[in-house]
């Protein structure tokens, strides 16, 4: 359920391929919730109908097999950096903020894949990319987004 609305969760890879690739034009309806922030309300996650279909068509060119294959070495570099950080924490028996580490890792992966940028926010806390990310998303724990997607009516009341 998303709030009190039943949702279908698909886990079969073949069926997912059909929904997301072959028959995606038949699955254009998305959530009708809006955050009230224009840049987020125009997100592919929040649009529906023809607007979503047009934006999805624009994005699909960025995810061809050859482009995804080209992203792999960049993502492997980010994954290796994350593992190195975890090994360092294990060796020194130092506490690790797992949420912070994996948020930075996800940011590094997104920057590498989308912008071909090697930002290394795991080892460079003063990186401008990281600072802007924190300014935009507030550096929070993500509870607000989870609440938005799982209980949108409650989110609107807050």
Taking all residues of the chain, what is their mean pLDDT, rounded to a whole number?
A: 83
Closest CA to 30 of 60, 11, 54: 54
Residues for the chain: how many in total? 158
Of 7-21, 26-40, 43-57, 129-143, where does the model show the most confidence?
7-21
CA 52 from chain center: how many Å?
17
| Distance in angstroms (rounded) separating the CA atoms of residues 28 and 21 | 12
Contact between residue 63 and residue 113 where contact means Cβ atoms under 8 Å apart = no
Task: Kindly state the average pLDDT of the residues 92-102.
Answer: 93
Q: CA dist 146 to 4, 141, 142, Å?
A: 15, 10, 6
**pLDDT tens digit sequence for 48-93:** 778 877 887 888 777 788 988 999 999 999 999 999 999 999 999 9
- pTM attached to this predicted model: 0.65
Task: Kindly state the average pLDDT of the residues 25-51.
Answer: 72
pLDDT tops 70 at residue 28 = no
pLDDT tops 90 at residue 136 = no
Q: How many CB atoms lie within 10 A of CB 115?
A: 10
Kindly tell me the burial class for residue 6, based on how many C-beta atoms sit within 10 Å of its own C-beta (0-12, 13-18, 19 or more).
Answer: exposed
């Amino acid at each position: 359920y998303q709030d009190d609305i039943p949702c279908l969760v698909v886990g079969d890879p073949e069926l997912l391929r059909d929904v997301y690739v072959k028959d995606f034009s038949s699955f254009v309806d998305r959530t009708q919730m809006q955050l009230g922030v224009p840049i987020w309300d125009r997100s592919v996650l929040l649009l529906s109908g023809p607007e979503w279909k047009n934006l999805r068509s624009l994005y699909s060119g960025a995810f061809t097999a050859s482009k995804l294959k080209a992203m792999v070495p960049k993502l492997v570099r980010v994954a290796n950096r994350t593992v190195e950080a975890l090994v360092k924490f294990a060796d020194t028996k130092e506490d690790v903020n797992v949420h912070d580490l994996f948020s930075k890792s996800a940011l590094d992966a997104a920057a590498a894949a989308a912008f071909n940028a090697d930002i290394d926010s795991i080892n460079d806390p003063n990186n401008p990319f990281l600072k802007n990310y924190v300014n935009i998303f507030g550096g929070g724990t993500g509870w607000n987004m989870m609440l938005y997607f799982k209980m949108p009516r409650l989110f609107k009341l807050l």
